Amino acid sequence: MTERQRAVVTGGAGFLGSHLCDALLAQGWSVVVVDNLVTGRLANLEHLRQEPRFEFVEKDICDPFDVGKVNFVFHFASPASPVDYSIHGIPTLKVGSLGTFHALDLARKYSAKYLVSSTSECYGDPLEHPQKETYWGHVNPIGPRSVYDEAKRFTEAVTMAYRRYHNVDTRIVRIFNTYGPRMQLNDGRVVPNFMKQALRGEDLTVYGDGCQTRSFCYVSDEIDGFMGLAKSDEHLPVNIGNPNEFTILECAKVVLKVTGSKSQIRYEPLPQDDPKQRRPDITKARQLLGWEPKIDLETGLRLSLDYFRKAVAEEAATAK
């Protein structure tokens, strides 16, 4: 009998990390999560508590860590929402630097494969549209968002260095806007903001004129992309996201349709360094992994509706 494959997921109590754990377990892996719960939540892993192939370690990976022999390191630890990284700016820089070194050291020690979650924020406010992996980006290195953008750019640099100098078998996924169940209700991103406001009957807040665009990928499609990349031998960054672009205003209207809300739209000034356009060129993922998203925005929002309804109700109950 072959030995069961064991993976470590840093940041596994987060939105994407917890869905990745589900996918790995479904494919027969044993999974150990390492998370300091700064932004991750045990509620995201509650359904795995009785799973014998799952273990959870509460630890800050900015300190060296060793969970024993693993075959794969998935480095997903980092605050990822504007609300979180504006509060936890220094920890975001630390986990992108120190945490990345420690995750790579673990992979190196056990000759494990390695996949790191990077971001479309590496492209900043792009001058190229849509964004290909070869685009170097247009990033403000000292702006309020730089704690996240530059942390992830440095994460990629360290990852490539460990491949070049230590021959670690690395992969880099650049994640574009993803949404779905287990997103934090107050994470400041477009979909949870709109869903929360619509379900509460509040005005939907649109920044600027609402003509800035985003591309939204449903979480199950995103995870399929990660799993495809994990099985591949590609070491350079790969965009995983949905190339179907929506204006923020269009997104607001789809949310109103799905929720049946009578909310109005309220316009507010655009935050500093907020990108005007964001859309992945996924030619590489299509050719290399045979991957492309299957779930459109309206379908994905309907699949997320129960989760957001429950989250809004829970928040209202705890506020009483």
Q: Give the distance, in angstroms, between the CA of residue 120 and the centroid of all CA atoms in the same chain.
A: 10
Quick check: 312 pLDDT over 60? yes
Quick check: 274 pLDDT over 60? yes
Rounded average pLDDT over 97-110 = 98
Q: What is the pLDDT of residue 18?
A: 98
77 DSSP β-pair partners? none
What would be the CATH architecture of the domain defined by 6-178+217-240? Answer: 3-Layer(aba) Sandwich (3.40)
pTM: 0.94
Candidates 9, 147, 140; CA nearest to 80 is 147
Q: What is the pLDDT of residue 271?
A: 74
Rounded average pLDDT over 302-307 = 98
Strands 213-215 and 245-247: antiparallel
- Note if 148 is an active site residue: yes
Q: What is the pLDDT of residue 3?
A: 73
For residues 41 and 89, give the distance between their C-alpha atoms in angstroms, rounded to a whole number: 19
For residues 164 and 144, give the distance between their C-alpha atoms in angstroms, rounded to a whole number: 32
The residue to which tokens 């929402």 are assigned: 81
pLDDT tens digits, one per residue of 13-29: 999 999 999 999 999 99
Rounded average pLDDT over 163-169 = 98
Candidates 285, 303, 278, 179; CA nearest to 236 is 285
Model confidence band, residue 276 (pLDDT cutoffs 50, 70, 90): confident
Omega cis (within 30) before 130? yes
| Encoded tokens for 166 | 């230590």
Rounded average pLDDT over 215-235 = 97
For residues 263 and 201, give the distance between their C-alpha atoms in angstroms, rounded to a whole number: 5
Quick check: 109 pLDDT over 70? yes
Rounded average pLDDT over 169-182 = 97
Task: Determine which of 212-216, 225-229, 256-260, 302-306 has the lowest per-residue pLDDT on average.
Answer: 212-216
Task: Provide CATH 3.40.50.720 ranges for the chain.
Answer: 6-178+217-240
- Do 171 and 114 form a contact (C-beta atoms < 8 A)? yes
For domain 182-214+244-278+295-313, give its CATH number from 1.10.10.350, 3.90.25.10, 1.20.1440.230, 3.20.20.80: 3.90.25.10
pLDDT tens digits, one per residue of 38-53: 999 999 999 999 999 9
pLDDT tens digits, one per residue of 189-217: 899 999 999 999 999 999 988 988 888 99
Task: Determine which of 173-177, 243-247, 273-277, 285-289 has the lowest per-residue pLDDT on average.
Answer: 273-277
| Encoded tokens for 267 | 């316009």
| Encoded tokens for 177 | 């806007």
The residue to which tokens 């170097």 are assigned: 136
Task: Provide CATH 3.90.25.10 ranges for the chain.
Answer: 182-214+244-278+295-313
R_g over Cα of the chain: 19
For residues 70 and 212, give the distance between their C-alpha atoms in angstroms, rounded to a whole number: 43
In the set 110, 114, 123, 148, the catalytic residue is 148
User: SS3 string of the chain?
Assistant: CCCCCEEEEECCCCHHHHHHHHHHHHCCCEEEEEECCCCCCHHHHHHHCCCCCEEEEECCCCCCCCCCCCCEEEECCCCCCHHHHHHCHHHHHHHHHHHHHHHHHHHHHCCCEEEEEEEHHHHECCCCCCECCCCCCECCCCCCCHHHHHHHHHHHHHHHHHHHHHCCCEEEEEECCEECCCCCCCCCCHHHHHHHHHHHCCCEEEECCCCCEEECEEHHHHHHHHHHHHHCCCCCCEEECCCCEEEHHHHHHHHHHHHCCCCCEEEECCCCCCCCCCCECCHHHHHHHCCCCCCCHHHHHHHHHHHHHHHHHHHHHHHC
Candidates 275, 274, 292; CA nearest to 283 is 292
Model confidence band, residue 1 (pLDDT cutoffs 50, 70, 90): very low
Q: What is the mean pLDDT of the chain?
A: 95
Q: What is the pLDDT of residue 275?
A: 65
Quick check: 237 pLDDT over 90? yes
Quick check: 144 pLDDT over 70? yes
Q: What is the pLDDT of residue 295?
A: 98
